């Protein structure tokens, strides 16, 4: 049996295509009599609106774009996968399709923009994670509503949804200090990323709050990015320090996993001899041996808030350049324990 179309509804209800679209999308003014007639026909024909039907009423594509760097969308570091899923669910609830595109992590002026931008097939975009400023400048030329997630830039002209990184870092360093640790290292890469820089700031603030003298030689920010291999590389260098750190706070879980691997290769016991803490609470964190103490980031909530903010702007319900923060939560597991005497 042929699927009913918007034309079938319009013909049966004796009205225009645009009137049917206004009714099914609950937009604009349509008389009560006409609205009831259209809804009756919709029910009788079991009609379901398509994207093209929605576009008749709103002059929009019904799509929103989701952009992130290609190295941020992987099985090894699935943080943004969860952010994307949160955005996708929220977009769908508001009648939008979410289209995903990645850009090179070293985006250059000559690199091609995502196709949905070139084809003008989206009504707005979400940009997740750190991207080059030249990319944002090129995107701005399209004049589309844009929301940033887990990234912010100075003098920005778009809203942002961010993690409360500083509070999360203060919480986890406070936990380590409460256990008795004083020689606490911080390991991070890509420290120019606002989120990672805020975690470093939270680390330093927590040390100062508790009167712990900061040993700057234990603060390692020399890695180019925050992957597992870079965490292992940083930890290998830290193990050459004397005194050895009794605890390591890694700026994300991927680097924390690398730290744990290197600690075990050095013949030391995690938690018993060197405590390790991370940030993000990716799914693998609870499956490690021992399970990783970390800071839980509500990744789906980041995506949901970003999508809802974007939809509000597209529909004209909001034009404020707001910054929304999502709280982070300390999760204590077995990778941290009171310090033991180290040689």
SS3 per-residue string spanning 112-139: CCCHHHHCCCCCCEEEECCCCHHHHHHH
Q: Answer with the one of 58, 75, 91 that is the final residue of a domain.
A: 58
Tell whether 292 and 322 lie within a shared domain.
no
The DSSP symbol for 63 reads E
Quick one: CA torsion of 100, 287, 262, 186, rounded to 10 degrees? 70
CATH number at residue 150: 3.40.50.2300
Task: Return the pLDDT at 239.
Answer: 92
79 lies in which domain range?
A: 63-163+299-326
**CATH code, domain with 20:** 1.10.260.40
The two three-digit tokens of residue 274, written as one number:
């060197």
Judge if 148 and 272 occupy the same domain. Answer: no
What local confidence, expressed as pLDDT, does residue 190 receive?
Answer: 79
From first to last of its 343 residues, the chain has per-residue pLDDT tens of: 567 877 888 889 988 776 777 787 666 567 888 889 999 998 888 887 655 555 555 556 789 999 998 877 664 557 888 899 999 999 988 888 899 998 987 888 788 899 889 888 899 999 999 888 889 989 988 889 999 999 988 766 789 999 999 999 999 999 999 999 999 999 998 788 889 999 999 999 999 999 987 666 667 666 667 788 889 999 999 999 888 899 999 999 999 999 999 999 999 999 999 999 999 999 899 999 999 999 999 999 999 999 999 999 998 876 667 889 999 999 999 999 999 864 4
Beta-strand (E) ranges in 155-238?
160-163, 184-189, 219-223
Same domain flag for 106 and 214: no
Are 78 and 118 in the same domain?
Answer: yes
Indicate if 158 and 170 belong to the same structural domain. no
Residue 268, φ and ψ in degrees, nearest 5: -100, 155
Q: What is the pLDDT of residue 5?
A: 79
Residue 316 lies in a domain: yes
- Residue 75 in domain: yes
Q: What is the pLDDT of residue 342?
A: 47
Same domain, yes or no: 273 and 175: yes
Does 104 reside within a domain?
yes
- Taking CA atoms, 278 is separated from 120, 185, 195, 222, 246, in Å, by 40, 12, 14, 17, 15
Question: What pLDDT does residue 51 have?
Answer: 54
- 210 belongs to a structural domain: yes
Residue 96 belongs to a domain: yes
Please tell me the pTM assigned to this model.
0.77
Locus of tokens 């990716």:
282
Which residue shows structure tokens 């003298």?
A: 213
Whether 227 and 217 map to the same domain: the answer is yes
Task: Count structural domains, the chain.
Answer: 3
Q: Are residues 173 and 279 in the same domain?
A: yes
Q: For residues 123 and 207, state if they share a domain.
A: no
Contact 243, 183 (CB under 8 A): yes
Query: Are 236 and 283 within one domain?
Result: yes
Determine the pLDDT at residue 25: 67
User: What are the tens digits of pLDDT across the range 251-286?
Assistant: 999 999 999 999 999 999 999 999 999 999 998 999
Q: Is 339 part of a structural domain of the chain?
A: no
116 lies in the same domain as 42: no
């Amino acid at each position: 049996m042929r699927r009913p179309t918007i034309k079938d509804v319009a013909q049966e209800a004796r009205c225009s295509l645009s009137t049917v679209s206004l009714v099914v999308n609950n937009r604009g003014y349509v008389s009560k009599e006409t609205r009831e007639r259209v809804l009756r026909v919709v029910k009788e024909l079991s009609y379901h609106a398509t994207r093209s039907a929605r576009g008749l009423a709103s002059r929009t594509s019904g799509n929103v774009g989701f952009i992130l760097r290609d190295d941020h969308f992987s099985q090894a570091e699935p943080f943004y996968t969860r952010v994307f899923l949160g955005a996708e669910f929220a977009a769908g609830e508001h009648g939008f399709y979410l289209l995903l595109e990645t850009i090179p992590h070293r985006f250059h002026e000559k690199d091609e923009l995502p196709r949905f931008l070139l084809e003008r097939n989206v009504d707005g975009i979400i940009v997740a994670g750190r991207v080059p400023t030249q990319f944002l400048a090129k995107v701005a030329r399209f004049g589309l509503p844009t929301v940033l997630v887990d990234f912010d830039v100075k003098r920005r002209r778009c809203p942002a949804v961010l993690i409360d990184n500083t509070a999360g870092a203060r919480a986890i360093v406070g936990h380590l200090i409460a256990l008795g640790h004083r020689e606490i290292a911080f390991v991070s890469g890509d420290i120019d990323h606002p989120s990672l820089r805020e975690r470093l700031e939270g680390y330093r603030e927590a040390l100062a709050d508790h009167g712990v003298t900061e040993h700057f030689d234990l603060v390692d920010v020399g890695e180019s990015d925050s992957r597992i291999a870079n965490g292992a590389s940083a930890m290998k260098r830290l193990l050459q320090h004397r005194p050895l750190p009794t605890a390591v706070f890694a700026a994300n879980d991927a680097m924390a996993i690398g730290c744990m691997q290197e600690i075990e290769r050095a013949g030391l016991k995690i938690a018993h001899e060197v405590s390790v803490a991370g940030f993000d609470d990716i799914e693998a964190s609870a499956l490690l041996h021992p399970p990783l103490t970390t800071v839980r980031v509500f990744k789906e909530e980041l995506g949901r808030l970003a999508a809802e903010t974007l939809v509000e702007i597209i529909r004209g319900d909001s034009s404020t350049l707001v910054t929304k923060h999502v709280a982070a939560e300390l999760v204590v597991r077995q990778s941290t324990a009171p310090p033991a005497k180290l040689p």
